[in-house]
Amino acid sequence: MTNPLLAPIDEFIDYQAIRPEHIEPALDMLLAHARQDIEQLVEQPQPTWDSLVEALHDATEKLWRAWSISRHLNAVVNTPELREAVNACLPKVSAFATWMGQHQKLYAQYKALAAASDEQSLDAPKKRAIELALQNFVLGGAELDEQKRELFAKNQEEQATTSQQFSENVLDSTDHWALYITDEAQLDGIPDDVKAAAQQAAEKDGKEGWKLTLQMPCYLPVMQYAHRQELRKTLYKAFATIASDQSDDTQWDNSQAIEKLLQLRIQEAELLGFEHFAALQLQTRMADSAEQITEFLHYLAERSKPYAQSDFQSLTDFARQELGIEAIEPWDVAYVSEQMKKARYDYSEDEVKQYFTEPHVLQGLFSVAENLFGAQFKQIEAPTWHQDARVYEVSQKGAPVGYLYIDLYARQGKQSGAWVGSERHRRRNTLGADYLPIAYLTCNFSAPQNGRPALFTHDDVITLFHESGHALHHLLSKVDEPDVAAFSAVEWDAIELPSQFMENFCWDWSVVKDMSSHVDTQEPLPKELFERMLAAKNFLSGMQMVRQIEFALFDMLIHSQTRGLSIDEVLDTLDSVRQEVAVVFPPSWHRFPHHFSHLFAGGYAAGYYSYKWAEVLSADAFSAFEEAAKEKNSPSTLVPEVGQRFLDEILAVGGIRPSAESFRAFRGRDATPEALLRHSGLVQESAA
């Protein structure tokens, strides 16, 4: 039987042909071959770059691609059979990764290669790859004694399986919940396209009326627009208690998973000689210490909390005076915010959404990438995992540089959120063949309804541009060594720089005008409406800032402990952070940590601060475009020469040097937080 997961590395994968029963046999075979090849290459007397590093890639690249594909399918087209197959392989792959990271002879080969790097005339990217590899061996437990290496291996396997269980619990708890409404009056205020999608969902289930779910394209509009407070409260509570002891069905309660992961992370840190897990994680970050990060976050909180308090007071006054709501409850915040924004700026997100049709938004995004970085996108025919997904060839100067898979719509069995993953890195192998990078861009937007194109809110557009920044970081790389590619070697607290940078162009009139087209009239977004959007850009930005600081401080606190925490202590920690920085306080039954997948299933443990850290970098980087546009007396921040410099110094270089050096090469200096505060409207001059 031909197994599609075993296709040659330079060929497209036939996703539609992959079945759950293909996964374990393919991975078993690739794991066995990789182990065999590694055991052979470590016996060489004097390693060279080709005989060690390139040979190691040859031995493992098909394995890592097959595993990446399997994990991706499990996230976007989840079924019980697929989940079972992936979970059967997870301990094996985790064990292999740990075995590699602790392999004494492989470690010795890398040390020998490092000692001979000058003699072999290795260039800077290759020396950087060796430097990072040696660091990874140390952090992978290679210098532990045999007993501790066994403990470390077991720890890594348990972390992998527990994180996977956490993710599955969130998906199942989210997908399981539904509310069927038969009285249309209950849906008063909710946009027509959202109601139409809910009606179709009910019909699909063989039910009358409308089906409301916790998927973002349904949940957010209900919270923003539904006039019925009880309906908002019902959905709010269901969402706030996903995968917890407070949800309707507690079989997916993540309490034990959280406790176990925190304990395992402390054990990992102790085995490697670190005070706590945050100290371990910061070995591969721009930031130096947990204290530096908390100081940074407290600085932002000090600057932004007065604005957040003012924001919330304005909401409270508006709710009482205009809506008859005497005291704002947490399930009222999004609704009152939307009503107040409409009253203050005379527009609503639903009105704006009519102008952002999917084809025009995508074309606008591609146009920005072409103007700034010379990247062109052409849709091609290639197998995908779902009819909603599509494939684009990405080119520069007429030559292909990579491929992008885009999957934009929410659906049952698809992990919530938005993310970018990679199937394959750019690489030139020992035979001189070029493998071009492949990226997955995944979102959860509303699907097209009734033969019309999908409509995106402006927040959706920002999300799409954000994720495109990650994809471009991967696809526009000029780095031929996978070990120093962006997704392999850029510090976690700098990885959000390109993504947050791209968001800025969603506020450039020249970009917005070109990518907007009313779904009925095909007219672009009126300039006057855009000006109102721009005026509202920093609406409630103080509240938004302290909310992100709340998450980041909570993350850093629970991962700076030297002992495990009970779930009650975790919740108490979050409450104490809220007392310090928050202005909105949820009820006692709120269980946000139980579905905080970034921390417990998404790689952001002791790293959620990265969003704000990188936002300082991205805001400062974008200021270079603003300054250039001002010098040229241009209304547009699309300045190709600055875009070329950003491409050359940030995107194309991946992780061949520390991110601080890349930023200085682009900006000519270190970053400062002033641009972020200014862009967010959190500067003294803006105070009322």
Token duo for residue 358 = 């999917």
Pairing state of beta strands 179-181 and 427-428? unpaired
Q: Is 661 a catalytic residue?
A: no
Give the C-alpha distances (Å, rounded to integers) separating 219 from 226, 233, 412, 419.
10, 11, 14, 19
Contacts of 41 (CB under 8 A, 6+ apart): 51, 52, 55, 56, 59, 109
Cα separation, 51 vs 102, in Å, equals 20
Task: Name the residue among 157, 186, 25 with its Cα closest to residue 91.
Answer: 157
Cα separation, 425 vs 439, in Å, equals 9
By three-state DSSP, how is residue 452 classified? Answer: coil
Cα separation, 286 vs 484, in Å, equals 16
Contacts 24+ apart (CB under 8 A), 657-660: 657/124, 657/128, 658/286, 658/491, 659/286, 659/490, 659/491, 659/494, 659/497, 659/617, 660/286
By three-state DSSP, how is residue 273 classified? Answer: coil
Phi, psi dihedral angles at 163 (to 5 degrees): -65, -40
Quick one: residue 127, left, alpha or beta (phi over 0 = left, psi -120 to 50 = alpha)?
alpha
> What does the angle CA 467 – CA 472 – CA 476 come to, to the nearest 5 degrees?
170
| Contact present, 477 and 486 (Cβ < 8 Å) | yes
Give the C-alpha distances (Å, rounded to integers) separating 480 from 87, 474, 498, 576, 665.
32, 12, 20, 47, 21
Taking the chain, what is the end-to-end CA distance rounded to the nearest angstrom?
Answer: 70
Catalytic annotation, pick one of 54, 467, 491, 550: 467
Token duo for residue 21 = 């029963």
Give the C-alpha distances (Å, rounded to integers) separating 99 from 64, 113, 157, 223.
15, 20, 11, 48
| Contact present, 589 and 237 (Cβ < 8 Å) | yes
What is the chain's length? 688
Instruction: Show which residues are catalytic.
Output: 467
